[in-house]
Amino acid sequence: KAGVTQTPRYLIKTRGQQVTLSCSPISGHRSVSWYQQTPGQGLQFLFEYFSETQRNKGNFPGRFSGRQFSNSRSEMNVSTLELGDSALYLCASSFGGTVTDTQYFGPGTRLTVL
């Protein structure tokens, strides 16, 4: 069974640009969550999508947005990039998105903002 895949793996952008990251969940999983990981703050929850609907959202500014497609693939977008957005962005998929469903993480996309 293929794991969670994320593309691209590495990305370099400059301040003010926007970026789109992609996540393909494990086949059959309908929930996709996104997290930001930095050395200073650790892993922080961005948002969760289930069946194309954003179900939960963390405490991040509106520059961070996402969507989910009918095949459960998800994208997240960051507009007007800031230096502080440099981080590892992880997505995790699970079957139903409940707390008792195991979340499987992808390898992440390393975003560097210059």
Partner 1 sequence: QKEVEQDPGPLSVPEGAIVSLNCTYSNSAFQYFMWYRQYSRKGPELLMYTYSSGNKEDGRFTAQVDKSSKYISLFIRDSQPSDSATYLCATDSGGGADGLTFGKGTHLIIQP
Residues that bind partner 1 (CB under 8 A): 4, 33, 35, 41-46, 48, 55-56, 58, 90, 92, 97-100, 102-108
Q: How far is the CB of 100 from partner 1 (least distance, A)?
A: 8
| Between 16 and 100, CB nearer to partner 1 | 100
Question: In this structure, are strands 31-38 and 19-24 parallel, antiparallel, or unpaired?
Answer: unpaired
Minimum distance from residue 63 beta carbon to partner 1 (Å): 18
C-alpha distances (whole Å) from 9 to each of 5, 39, 51, 58, 79 are: 9, 18, 25, 23, 19
CB of 37 to partner 1, least distance (A): 9
Choice between 18 and 52, CB closer to partner 1: 52
Interatomic CA distance for residues 68 and 54, integer angstroms: 8
CA distance 96 to 16: 36
> 37 or 79, CB closer to partner 1?
37
